[in-house]
Every structure is written in C-alpha cells, then in structure tokens.
C-alpha cells in the first residue's frame, strides 16, 4: 500500500485517478470522515498492491531501489524499462510490494461498568483478525489473593473465533490507582501469593485464558527481587498448564533508572523468565501533561534500543497508542485535562475548523492547531499512517516480536491496513 499526503484543494476523485483506484475504494479503506472536504496534510492509505513513485531530480534506479529495499534490476523489470535508461523527472515508476515479516500483535480492551459496551465489542471484532492476542483489561488482585473480574461479555468468544490468544491481564490497582502496598503483600506473603496463583489457574481454566499477563506498577524498589522470584514461581506453575506468561514494563532507558515507576522492573530478569514483555512506549504526551506527541519516535527508539540489550528482541512487544489528545490552551498541568480523541476525530476537527494537518518530522507525529467557537486555542497530537509506519519500520529494524496497542475503542482504520501491508500476523 502507499501513503499519500493530501495537497491543498485535492479531492478524493483526483487522488483516486492518480493511483488508478476507485473513489469508493479510497473512501472505504480509510473510512474517511471528510470525503467531500479533504484536509491539506491529511495522510491517506492507498489500497493498492505495491506503490507508485514519481522520479525526482537526482534520482537513479539504484537510489530508488535502495530507498524501497529492492534492486535496480527488479525495478527495471516490473516497469518494462532498460536498467540503463535515463530517468526523467516526474516519470511514474511502480514499486513492488514490500517484503512482509512475521510479527505478533496484542490489543488491550478496557470495559467500564458492569458490561462490555457494544462499541467495545464491535471494535474487538474489527481488530481481532489482525491480532495474535486479545487482552481484556484487567483483573484486579485483592489483598487476600482473590480476584476482581472485569466484565468480559463476548470477548472470549471473539478471541476464539479469530484464533486469538485470550490474555488474562492482572494488575495491582485499588480504587483506580496502582498500589505499592498491595504489590508488597502479594509479592512477599507466600500464603496469600499461593492463593493468588490458585485463583489465577481456576479463572484461566474457566474462561480459556492462554496467557497470564502481569501488570504490576509503582512497586516499591525494595520489592524488585521479590517480583522476580514471584515471576519464576508463576512461570513454573503456568508452564505446566501450557500457558504463556508475560509482563508489562515501564519504558526505561537504563538498568539503574530512578523513579517509583521504574526501579522494581528488572528488564534483564523479565527477559530471562517470561515468554514476552509489553514495553509501554507511549504517554509522553498524556491527558494531565503539556501538549506533545503521545509516542514520539526518538524516546521510543531510545527505550527500545536499551531494551534489546537486556531482553531478547523476539520477546519484546512495542507499546503503541491508538489515540491522540486535544489540549485546550493555555494548559496547566495538574489542573487541566486533555480530551482523548481518535485519529478519525482529529481529521474531522481539522476539516471543521479549516486548518491543515501538520507533521513533526522529529516526533514523527501529526498535529493540529485550531481555535474553537469560544476563541480558545487548541493543540491536537494524534496518530496517522505516517506515524504508524515509522513505528513499524522501527519494529522491523530492531527485529522485535511485534506490537501491543493501548487500547481498542477509538477508530483508526489505517493502522489495520498497514499491518496487512507490512506483516504476516502470527496466530497461536
């Protein structure tokens, strides 16, 4: 597939003619929220096999081939030209489909209340064909080792029908907050810990979970080794059942990184013990903080380049957001809260306010500046085809296991199109 960035005054009809696809195909593939009013800077995924490239000044078949990871001979063959033929600026070349690699994909889905909403179940159904793992979030462990279940609705059935591994995600939250005291009890009281493990086994068998995913956060630094020992014990127990064990890890850049989110997460030990990890490489830009890209490529890269020195690369799922935020300016951290929005909503905001979508080449993320009806200024950072492709390229460069999405429920159709273009999704 190809990513096309809309130019001023371009229409769906013009773009469809350029790539020889129908306007309906283009609209449907991107689920365009603004088919009659495209926004300058809007990224579209063109639903074709391979892509087209228009020759620019200084190009040669060799330089174009290197750019698209093919050979000059192959480019000449598929375009019916001589390998020695001079290229004219503006000449249209067909680029063969990129080589796909195997990868695994996980997505969390977070029900609220007593039931799973129709919207969340529909979102899970749409995503499940592209997933290896489906992770309802989350079971909560209590101080006596018992478990509080989230609503599951039809999620187990959706996972089964799509050959997804159903993931039992478990966290150490109390009243909506991660609790270091709860973590201390579970990790250091052996009697309660054994009850906890027994309850996991019983629940996993009841619902058909095949991966037990431990998301213990904000643990006390002194419980680091106790956490490692717990994971070893859990791995022995769950391996007998034929289940995976995975963990969620804070985005660290060094072994000795300080801070209550980081210190109890031992990358090297987790890499040795568990089957795979999800590294939470998102939320640099978050609802309570100043406006910035949610997962800017530079800090994401820094975390993952450190991670592969401690954890086998094929045990790492890169964390990725499926959403953005809309900040009202001026924004006061600790007082104001940004609104979570989908990429589709971000595009519609730009169309409604007649503002372009800009792209930050450093963060590798799109953003919008606009003024609302009350004359208040806003900054929106979100995801598009370009930002996701940048992450897919990094995933392949570092030879990672795959990607994990937080979270389903906000529409981003381009992501699933680009998975198909880049990867063979592994099923278990």
> What end-to-end distance do the CA atoms of the chain give, in Å?
27
Of the listed 104, 217, 263, 383, which one is catalytic?
217
Q: How many Cα atoms occupy the beta-carbon half-sphere of 152 within 13 Å? A: 20
The string over 383-399, giving b where at least 16 C-beta atoms fall within 10 Å of a residue's C-beta and e elsewhere, is: bbbbbbbbbbebbbeee
Q: Is the peptide bond before 138 cis (omega within 30 degrees of 0)?
A: yes
Q: Give, for 93, the enclosing helix (H) or strand (E).
A: strand 92-95
Using alpha carbons, select from 28, 345, 1 the residue that is nearest to residue 12.
28
- Please work out, in degrees rounded to the nearest 5, the angle formed at the alpha carbon of residue 406 by the alpha carbons of 400 and 408: 120
The reply to whether 217 belongs to the active site is yes
Find all residues with CB under 8 Å of 14, minimum gap 6, and list them. Answer: none
SS3 190: helix
What gap in Å lies between CA 74 and CA 65, rounded to an integer? 8
Find all residues with CB under 8 Å of 257, minimum gap 6, and list them. Answer: 263
Using alpha carbons, select from 186, 32, 135 the residue that is nearest to residue 408.
135
CA dist list (Å): 258 to 177, 180, 255: 20, 16, 9
Burial of 317 (0-12, 13-18, 19+ CB in 10 A): buried
CA dist list (Å): 351 to 9, 42, 219, 354: 12, 10, 44, 5
Task: Indicate which residues carry an active-site annotation.
Answer: 217
């Amino acid at each position: 597939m190809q990513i096309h960035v809309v130019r001023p005054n371009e229409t769906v009809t013009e773009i469809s003619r350029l790539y020889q696809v129908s306007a309906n195909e283009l609209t449907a593939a991107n689920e365009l929220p603004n088919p009659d009013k495209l926004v300058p800077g809007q990224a579209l995924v063109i639903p074709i096999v391979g892509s087209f490239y228009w020759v620019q000044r200084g190009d040669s078949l060799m330089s174009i081939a290197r750019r698209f990871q093919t050979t000059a001979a192959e480019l000449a063959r598929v375009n019916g030209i001589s390998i020695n033929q001079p290229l004219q600026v503006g000449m249209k070349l067909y680029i063969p489909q990129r080589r796909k690699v195997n990868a695994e994909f996980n997505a969390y889905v977070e029900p609220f209340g007593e039931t799973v909403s129709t919207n969340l179940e529909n979102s899970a159904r749409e995503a499940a064909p592209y997933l290896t793992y489906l992770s309802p979030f989350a079971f909560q462990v209590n101080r006596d080792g018992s478990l509080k279940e989230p609503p599951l609705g039809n999620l187990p059935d959706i996972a089964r029908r799509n050959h997804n591994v159903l993931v039992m995600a478990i966290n150490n939250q109390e009243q909506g907050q991660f609790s270091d005291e709860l973590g201390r009890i579970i990790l250091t009281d052996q009697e309660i810990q054994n009850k906890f493990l027994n309850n996991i086994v019983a629940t996993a068998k009841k619902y058909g979970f095949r991966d037990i995913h431990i998301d213990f956060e904000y643990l006390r630094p002194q419980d680091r080794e106790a956490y490692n020992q717990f994971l070893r014990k859990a791995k022995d127990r769950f391996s007998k059942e034929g289940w995976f064990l995975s963990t969620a890890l804070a985005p660290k850049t060094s072994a000795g990184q300080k801070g209550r989110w980081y210190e109890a997460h031992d990358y090297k030990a987790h890499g040795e013990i568990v089957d795979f990890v999800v590294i939470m490489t998102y939320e640099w830009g978050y609802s309570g903080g100043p406006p910035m890209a949610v997962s800017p490529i530079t800090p994401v890269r820094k975390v993952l380049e450190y991670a592969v020195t401690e954890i086998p690369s094929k045990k790492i799922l890169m964390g990725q957001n499926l959403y953005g935020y809309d900040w009202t300016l001026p924004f006061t951290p600790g007082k104001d809260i940004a609104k979570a929005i989908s990429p589709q909503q971000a595009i519609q905001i730009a169309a409604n306010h007649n503002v372009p979508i800009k792209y930050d080449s450093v963060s590798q993320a799109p953003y919008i500046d606009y003024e609302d009806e009350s004359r208040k200024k806003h900054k929106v950072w979100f995801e598009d085809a370009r930002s996701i492709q940048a992450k897919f390229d990094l995933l392949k460069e570092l030879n990672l296991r795959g990607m994990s999405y937080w979270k389903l429920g906000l529409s981003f159709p381009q992501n699933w199109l680009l998975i198909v273009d880049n990867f063979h999704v592994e099923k278990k």
